[in-house]
Amino acid sequence: MKNLRSLVGRFFPSISSAEEKHHHLEELLARLPTEARDAAEIGVVRAGLSENPEYAAKASSFYADKHSSYHQRARFEILSGNPEGAIAIYEEGSFFVNEAAEVAKKYVGVERAIKVYEDALQKEGPLPNSAHYHEELAHLYEEQGNSDSAKKHIKLAIAGYEEEGAVYGAVNLERRYGTLDNVIKILVRAAEVKEAAGGGNYGRLLYHQAAEAAEEAGNLENARQIHEKELDSLLRESCWRLDKEGVITLAKKVGNKDKLIAAYEKFDLPQEAFKVALQEGYTDRAMEICFKMSVTEELSKLAKFTLDKGYQNMTLRIYEHAGLEKEAAKTAIQYGNPQKALEICELKIDTPHENGYYGDADYYDLAMDAASRIGDKERRELIGRKAIHKFSALGEFSVSARFAEKLGDNERARTYTLLASLPKV
């Protein structure tokens, strides 16, 4: 890194102001061929090296069909000077009403933020977040000094939180805007609902909190009555749910190995369950338990074991089943099956995800290695060029530099290295 900074210093001895940084960014971009520059212009916005509205517009267009996140697309719209476009993107996602309102408030005004929440509440179908939207509307109306509208939405928010089962949302608002008596009633109603649904532990907790609220209000008799309901709930609870050791001891005494295994599994003791299954000769059951235990780690150990025993094809299947395609590709190359490795890697590098494997350089390296083993130079070149452009579009210029160097294109590698060294704006 120190050598790289020295190298940059020779070419750009005094980089200080924002204008100078912008100048050198443009100078570096100008060195690239047209196609490469288009990708890099997108990448510098993505990487936070530029807030150029023109580049942001290109990034917005590029990522529109690349499964990019709503947040990234909205950011591009904001940088392009189009906050309404960002609001529309968030509203399109259905789950990003808060983000849409935040953008509206920051870049347009409180009235626009209010409209975002009002529009969300008017949409057809179930609205699981309606209580929250009412609460946010109340806060916005408070900012405007519209107390009547704020109170109306507070009441709707409290009722909505109760209906949604979000007890503490209702309790917190009632404590702030209502009365302690109503807090007690909300908690008791919620506890009764949970009791009826079999949620004993949660129901008891709600009774306990209601009783504490009654004590806080000075209503000791009401507090005593609520504590009694909490006690009744405890007495109705099955003891096995509270005494893990008692259940396991009973299962051992009964001697039913299947049930002992089930008990261990129920209390999250998979290693003990595995030992019993193996001792009893339940090999299939033991393997089922094994696959549930830290799946990736356990399957990886299993794959290495089968490889040591000479079952390369089985190893590949286990790795792929575990989602360890990279290990599968490495193993395929190592044991003389580069075509299989190439198939695995090309599937990953051609999957159009913005994140994840879309940006995993290892798959491109392995694919190039596999193509070399096969003797397909043209395919290796194509994979390398694809890596350069994709990582450039992602703003990961140091990775693009590495692949350019791997293909022998040292001049382009140098340009990407300089791009990677630029400070963020």
Angle subtended at Cα 100 by Cα 94 and Cα 103, rounded to the nearest 5 degrees: 165
Greatest alpha-carbon span in the chain: 87
Count CA atoms closer than 13 A to 172's CA, side-chain side: 9
Are 117 and 129 in the same domain?
yes
Does residue 298 carry a pLDDT above 60?
yes
For 258, the token pair is 């299947």
Domain residues for the domain of 90 are: 82-178
| Better-scored residue on pLDDT, 218 or 245 | 218
Confidence of residue 8 (pLDDT cuts 50, 70, 90): very low
Q: What is the pLDDT of residue 386?
A: 92
Say yes or no to pLDDT of 142 above 90.
yes
Q: From 419, 412, 383, select the one nearest 398 (Cα to Cα).
A: 419
Does position 164 have pLDDT exceeding 60, yes or no?
Answer: yes
Give the residue with greater pLDDT, 358 vs 326.
Answer: 326
Question: Domain for residue 266, yes or no?
Answer: no
CATH number assigned to the domain comprising residue 138: 1.25.40.10
Closest by CA to 72, choosing from 348, 355, 352, 386, is: 355
148 in the same domain as 88: yes
User: Both 96 and 174 in a single domain?
Assistant: yes
The answer to whether residue 114 sits within a structural domain is yes
Of the ranges 196-205, 257-266, 322-331, which is most confident? 322-331
Q: For residue 47, tell me if it sits in a domain.
A: no
Q: Is the domain of 123 the same as that of 211? A: no
Quick one: tokens of 111?
């009235």
Q: What is the mean pLDDT of residues 154-182?
A: 94
Q: Token digits for 316?
A: 């590949």
In a domain, 271, yes or no: no
Q: What is d(CA 29, CA 42) in angstroms, rounded to the nearest whole number?
A: 11
Residues 131 and 192 in one domain: no
Q: Which of 159, 178, 197 is the last residue of a domain?
A: 178
pLDDT for residue 110: 95
- Asked if the model's pLDDT at residue 407 lies above 50, the reply is yes
With a pLDDT cut of 90, the percent of the chain lying above it is: 41
Mean pLDDT score of the chain: 81
Of residues 379 and 245, the one with the higher pLDDT is: 379
Does residue 195 sit in the same domain as residue 208? yes
Could you tell me the end-to-end alpha-carbon distance of the chain, in angstroms, rounded to an integer?
20
Q: Which of 1-5, 104-108, 159-163 has the lowest mean pLDDT?
A: 1-5
pLDDT at 219: 92
Kindly report each contact of residues 194-202 with a partner whose C-beta sits within 8 Å and lies 24 or more positions away, as own/partner: 195/233, 200/233, 200/236, 200/237, 200/241, 201/237
Whether residues 215 and 229 fall in one domain: yes
Question: Based on the domain organization, do 187 and 199 belong to the same domain?
Answer: yes
The string of pLDDT tens digits covering residues 281-294 is 675 675 676 567 55
Note whether residue 189 is domain-resident: yes
Average pLDDT over residues 13-40: 72
Higher pLDDT, 236 or 48: 48
The mean pLDDT of 164-171, rounded to a whole number, is 93
Among 98-112, 143-157, 222-236, 249-263, the minimum mean pLDDT is found in 249-263
- Classify residue 2 as exposed, middle or buried by CB count within 10 Å of its CB (0-12, 13-18, 19+): exposed
Q: Alpha-carbon distance 135 to 59, whole Å?
A: 35
pLDDT for the residue 6: 39
Which of 158, 178, 198 is the endpoint of a domain? 178
- 80, pLDDT greater than 90: no
pLDDT band at 195 (very low <50, low <70, confident <90, very high): confident
Same-domain check for residues 174 and 188: no
Q: Is residue 104 part of a domain?
A: yes
Specify whether 93 is located in the same domain as 170: yes
Residue 229 lies in a domain: yes
**Where does a domain end: 153, 178, 203?**
178
Number of domains composing the chain: 2
Same domain, 90 and 164: yes
Residue range 133-153: mean pLDDT, rounded: 95
Residue 398 has a pLDDT of 94
Same domain, 196 and 168: no
Asked whether residue 221 is domain-assigned, the answer is yes
